[in-house]
Each structure stands twice: as C-alpha cells, then as structure tokens.
Chain A
Amino acid sequence: MSALTFSLKRRVDQRVDMSPLVCQKLLGLDPSDIGALELHNGKAKVRVDSLFDISGSDTQKIIIKNSYEKLDFIGKELETGEISIIGDAGAYLGLGMKSGFIRISGNTGLFTACEMKKGLIEIDGNTGDFLGGALPGNKMGMKGGTVLVKGNAGDRVGDHMRRGNILIEGNAGDYCGSRMTAGTIAVMGQTGKHVGYAMRRGTLLLWNGPQVPANFNDCGAHTLAFLPLLFKSFKTLNSAFSEPAAMFNRVRRYAGDMSEMGRGEILVKI
C-alpha cells in the first residue's frame, strides 16, 4: 500500500483548514470518500479533490505535496500515523497533536506544535512565533513530545510550555521560554532578548551565552548528571542534537525568573 498523497493543484488566496486530513479521521475511507470531504477555505467550503490530486491509499502515511504557507492546521490532534509535508505549512501545524510523526521539508507558520501532547515534529526549515506555545488565552502550552527545528524559530518559543522537548538547531527569537511552566528548550544558535521571561520552572539549554536578564541569578559552573541522559534521549533523532560532538555536561547555571517562582534555569554550555 502506497502512502496517501495529496498534491496541491493550485494555490488559493484564502487560507485552508487542513484539520480533517489527519490519519485517524481518514482511517477506513477510500480515495473517493476522501476527495468528497470538505475543507474550509476562507469563508467558503471546498472539496478536497478540487484542491488536491489524490493518489495512494495508506491513510496512516500521508504525504502533502506542493504545500505552501496558507495550509493551516495540518496534523491537528493527530493521534496515529505520520504526515510528510513537501513545501511550507501555515499556522497551527500539529496543534494539540496526541501522537505520531510529522515531518516538513520547508518552513512553518505561527503556533507550530501549539499545545502538543505527544509525538514528534521535525521541521527542516524555519518556524514562526509561539512554537510549542499555548493558544491565546490558554494557560498551558506544549504538554509532551518533541519538536525539532533545523532552522530558526520565531519569538516566544515554548510560551506557557509545560512538558516535552523543543530542540532548535538554529536561532530562537525574543522571549524564548517565556512563562514556561516546565519542559526543556535547547537552542544551538543564538537567542534573542528577554530569555526566560516570567519563567516558572523548566530548562533552557543554550549553546551560546544569552543576554542574561537581570532577574536570573548566576549559580555558577557545574557538571550536571542529567545532561548525558537527556542527550542520550536525542540519539534516535535525525539531527545535530544526536551527534556525539553535541553532547556536554558542563554548564553555567542561571536560576530564574526571580520575579516569578524562580525555579527555572538557563544552562549555558561552557
């Protein structure tokens, strides 16, 4: 059985809600049923087969070809299977994802992996603001799983994040780890201003020294035993994080945000 493939026929002007096209919702449907499903396109509704050429039949392995930045909600609440995206994706990629695997060859928009619960998202390109964050007004961001970004991430990475790993091979924008409740954000590149803003708990693991905010206190240099375990858990990833050269256990520890609970930490490689 070959992967169920959606090849975009034309780029529409209005945004498209792709949330019906997830593995668990397509289970048991044949390609003609899938083609007849309707997607929100701006204010209108359009049939899937009016936007995509459909081929293949394995609903647990979905490929979206010619994807572009207006395809929102890809992999929303994905429970099983895998989705590969060739091209870019819009906002809310993997929103509330419960399990499975999403891989994208291009860039993603705002709120990628927002409120994600489990699974793995691998992004070859860059991603927008609020990666792994909470929806506006909500108090809990990402609650589990792993997001790997090979490019750069926007502002507010892990806003209100509660659990899980966000791994960024490139740079992160401003307010990285803002209002974080727990979890781990690792950034190999540079970070912007106000790192760990209002952070309560959790770990920011940085390869390069940030502009440490005044409300983080320097706790000195340490060899931490949990870091080898953490790096070991990245071993299966297709990433620079899995390379032996990336591993270290010697860090400078900054505790904060002291204007909040102050149980968070910024660990900077030394």
Chain B
Amino acid sequence: MIINGVTIDQTFAEAFPMKATRAIITAQNEKWAMISAQAMTGFATSVIACGCEAGIERVLDASETPDGRPGVSVMIFAMGGKGLAKQLETRAGQCVLTSPTSALFAGIDGGTRIALGKNLRYFGDGFQVSKLISGKRYWRIPVMDGEFLTEATTGQVDAVGGGNFLVLAESQPQALAACEAAIDEMRKIPNVIMPFPGGVVRSGSKVGSKYKSLGASTNDAFCPTLKGMTKTDLSPEIESVMEIVIDGLTKEDIDKAMRVGIQAVCDLGAENGIKRISAGNYGGKLGPFHFHLQEIMA
C-alpha cells in the first residue's frame, strides 16, 4: 500500500491489555490546571521503568468540568489494577494536592472504583470534611491556600496499551515534523494518550538484550547508524525513525488515533522525506491486540 508516496508496510502493531483510569484536574485557570496535569503525568512514559504510562488527554472548557473551572483531563495506564491504584494515589498526592488552587475529580464513572482522594484525606490530620453530593463522595482537605477538593474515587476500566507506528524518513527534522503533525491530529481523538515526551519516542526498543540484566534494548533493526552492521529493516535512504505509542480505552479508540496519525504523516508525503510507515510487534506472540496498518488505512 502506498499513500502519497509513503509505503505502508504489511505489518501490525502489537498491543497489550492494561488497566486505565481518568482524572480531571481543575484550577483557577487553565495555566495552573495544566501545570498540575503535567506534573501528574510526568515520568510516566513507559511501564518498563515508570510503573505506569500517563498523559494529558485534552484541555477541558469550564463548562465541561464538575466545578465550572478550567480543567485538564489526564489518563493513567498500568499493567494491573493494584499498580494503577498506587500510581494514581501517589501522583495525585504529590502533584495535584500540592498544586495551587487545584481540585481533582473522577473522569470515569463506571468500572471498578479505586481511590482518588479517599486516602489523601488523611493529610487533613482530622480537619478534613466529607461531603456526599449527588451520590458522589468528596473530601475537603484544608491546605494553606484554602481547601483542596477531591472526589473520593474514580473508575478503573480495562484498556489497551502499546498501539504504535513508526515513521521512517530521509532526515531527522523530517521525521520529527511528521510526528508533530500526527500528534496534533491524534490529540483530537478522545480516550487515548501518547505517553512519550511530546507524544514521540525516538528510542524504540526490542525485547531482550545481550546484557542479562536488561529486558529491553535498542531496536537495532530500525537504528539508521547500524544499517551496515546489523540485520537492518531500513533501506539506504532512511536516516531517521521515530515512533508514536498510543494507549487507549478500547482497541477502536487506538484504531482511530492510528488512522488520523498515519494520515497526517502521509499528507506530508514523500516530497517531505517521509518514505515508510511501519510498526513494532513481537511476532504476535505477546499481545492479543493486533493493529494491521494496511487494514487501518484501507
């Protein structure tokens, strides 16, 4: 398959079941909601070393938030429910509770309930106040700037993590420009996050390493500087490869995000140095969710 001069490989991205949750952070203005959200989703690019994958889903208008203030929706993904709950609580406590003027609300009503502010209330040292409003429990925790308002729980649902595609380009600036265009479009799709810095990862990995202590190492088949010394997957003109990883609530959400992302890359086309779109997989043996690039773009 070729779109606008860009070859779409006959391959697939392989993804895994994960657990996910969503939280809504509001603040006095969008600036401070975003600062809090960025802190909460920081150091959360990959479950390999961060414990979770997290990202900003979108900015929320004041009319969309529970307390009528500007807000940001964040999503956190982890391999299991226990790990997710721990990450959520730690991040909420250290990054949102501490952030000036912030308030924290559940972003998913259904699913299994996990603690959002339920345990943060103990920071109130006995001065915390509970309020049950429209069937939802909130905690008002006295803090130095006033009161930190948080919903007690949020929903945890089954989700999919690890959807991806690779952008193969003739130069590094061209690969990055294509990925930026893709991310701009993908951020418009609800229920997905792209957890890596700016949504783009330049150090895609393969399973295993020559070093016993490492479970993952650089994806040498896609490293352009190794073209002459490894079993490369790159043609001579490819000088840079970048990857976009997508976590989503459902397979369909990831499908949509991949479609608009790949389309945005292809719109730049071969004339802007984009040569191929590929994807990372492990032969289909590890993850039950397969995203076939040509099917998605058909």
Question: Are B129's CB and A263's CB within 8 A?
Answer: yes
A163-B132, A182-B130, A203-B131 as given contacts; A229 in contact with B146, CB under 8 Å: no
Interface size on A, residues (CB 8 A): 18
Q: Which residues from 183 to 212 on chain A have a C-beta closer than 8 Å to any C-beta of chain B?
A: 184, 201, 203
- Are A229 and B138 in contact, with the CB atoms below 8 A? yes
Asked whether any CB of chain B lies closer than 8 Å to the CB of A159, the reply is: no
Judged by a CB distance under 8 angstroms, whether A228 is at the interface is: yes
Within 8 A of B (CB), among A256-270: 263, 265
When distances are taken between beta carbons in the complex, the residues of chain A under 8 Å from B147 are: 222, 224-226
CB distance from A253 to the nearest CB of B (A): 10
Interface positions of B from 118 to 169, Cβ below 8 Å from A: 126-127, 129-134, 138, 140, 146-147, 149
Does A233 sit within 8 A of B, measured CB to CB? yes
CB distance A222 to B146 under 8 Å?
A: yes
- CA–CA, A232 to B149, complex, Å? 15
0/1 interface trace, chain B 193-214, chain A, CB 8 Å (1 if under): 0000000000000000000000
Q: How far is the CA of A210 from the CA of B131 in the complex (A)?
A: 23
Could you tell me if B129 and A229 are in contact, using CB atoms closer than 8 angstroms?
A: no
Report which of A163, A233, A265 forms a contact with B134, defined as CB distance below 8 A: A233
How many B residues touch A, CB cutoff 8 Å? 17
B25: A residues at CB distance < 8 A: none
Bound-state CA distance A163–B132 (Å) is: 8
Bound-state Cα–Cα, A233 to B132, Å:
10
| Contact pick for B67, options A144, A228, A263, A265, CB 8 Å | A228
When the two chains form the complex, which single residue of B103, B126, B130, B133 contacts A230, counting CB atoms closer than 8 Å? B133
**Cβ of B99 to closest chain A Cβ, rounded Å:** 13
Bound CA–CA A203/B131 (angstroms)? 9
A184 contacts B103, CB within 8 Å? no
Tell me the complex Cα distance, A222–B103, Å: 16
- Which B residues are in CB contact (< 8 Å) with A228? 67-68
B131 x A225 contact (CB < 8 A): no
Chain A 14-50 interface residues, beta-carbon cutoff 8 Å to B: none
| Complex-state Cα separation, A201 to B138, whole angstroms | 15
B143 to chain A, nearest CB (A): 11
Question: CA–CA, A222 to B131, complex, Å?
Answer: 17
The residue that B131 contacts in the complex, of A144, A184, A232, with Cβ under 8 A, is A184
Interface residues of A in 149-164 (CB under 8 A from B): 163
List chain B residues, Cβ under 8 A from A222: 146-147
CA distance A223 to B28 in the complex (A): 12
Contacts of A232 in B (CB 8 A): 66, 68, 134
| Bound Cα distance from A230 to B103, whole angstroms | 15
User: What is the CB-to-nearest-CB distance from B73 to chain A, in angstroms, rounded to a whole number?
Assistant: 18
Determine if A226 and B132 form an interchain contact, defined as CB atoms under 8 angstroms apart: no
**CB within 8 A of A265: which of B68, B129, B146, B149?**
B129
CB distance from A65 to the nearest CB of B (A): 33
Residue with the greatest number of chain B CB neighbours at <10 A, chosen from A182, A229, A232: A229
Residues 43-81 (chain B) with a chain A CB within 8 angstroms = 66-68
B133 touching A224, Cβ below 8 Å: no
What chain A residues lie within 8 Å of B140 (beta carbons)? 224-226
Q: Are A226 and B138 in contact (CB under 8 A)?
A: yes
Closest to A118 in B: B135
A190 to B22, CA, bound (A): 43
Shortest C-beta distance, A260 to chain B (Å), equals 14
Q: Kindly report which residue of chain B lies nearest to residue A253, judged by CB atoms.
A: B147
Q: How far is the CA of A6 from the CA of B162 in the complex (A)?
A: 65
Known: A229-B67, A229-B131, A263-B129. 19 other contacts (CB 8 A): A182-B130, A184-B131, A203-B129, A203-B131, A222-B146, A222-B147, A224-B140, A224-B146, A224-B147, A225-B146, A225-B149, A226-B133, A226-B138, A226-B147, A226-B149, A229-B133, A230-B131, A232-B68, A233-B134
Can you list 15 A-B contacts with CB-CB less than 8 angstroms, sorted by A residue number? A163-B132, A203-B131, A222-B146, A224-B146, A225-B67, A226-B133, A228-B67, A229-B66, A229-B131, A229-B133, A232-B66, A232-B68, A232-B134, A233-B134, A265-B129
